[in-house]
Structure 1
Amino acid sequence: MFAPVTQERIEGHLDTLNLTHFRGESDGLTRTGFPGLVCFFQVEDAGFKVTARWLPICDTNADALELRLVVNELNRSLPLVRVHPVRREDGSTVVLIEAPFFTSGAVSDEQFAAMIEFYFSAIHHVKAQLEKRLPQLAEKDSTQ
């Protein structure tokens, strides 16, 4: 099937992967998660973007600096995926992992599945690298 990407199509694919998901009431974005990660799917006219948040929270300046250095190194080696340290209003820093997919209006089921598979593989790679390089953050309670 060659069709546009919609929240319903995303949810259908997540069902085929046996992943639990829900749609946010306030923003309409589909969400799913993995241990240590939560993913958001945003659909736009040009395609869709998947953003994952690594759940540990960085709350010291020293850890934030180390996190930024690790993120800079990851971004040099990752095709199509960007890792962002985001400073929040409370002064803490979280990590977002984003990938835009420009679909020119529609994609085949095979193309769509490959895009999602690529992204899920990439975020797990990033998570593993963050946990390896920043064990002090990985060990923190993710419910902070």
Structure 2
Amino acid sequence: MHQPVTELQIDVGLSITVTDAGDWIVKADGRDFQLKEISDFYRAWLLLERPFPDVKAAFDQIASNAKKTIPFPFAKLIASALKAKSGEWTDRAMLWVSFLTEAEKASLKDLFIEARDSKWASQKSRQLARQHLTRIERSR
């Protein structure tokens, strides 16, 4: 019999899990870092290199095994990558935006504006930001 999955390995010595208190954390080299504020999520950017459905399924399983109902805050991970103003991480984050709820997308509006108007984001990411902003405006 195998152990239930309780954490997702994202790199050597780097994993994400949920605590008994229901908080998502990054475990890095024996230390725990809470994922609360947007600025905490840079340690989790490597997740953006994976397909969203795979990561979501893994986190849903981890939360279920830990008997927690707190979903992983994907919008904060995406916001963190967009705030970095890095073409590479913005491109990766923008691919995940379509999986967010409308409310989560709306919470990223200011970051979409920054990406749309930026010089650092790729043309594709600027176009996606423009599309998301148009949808946010229409849904009001």
TM-score norm. by structure 1 comes to 0.23
Higher helix share: 2
Question: TM-score of the superposition, structure 2-length normalised?
Answer: 0.24
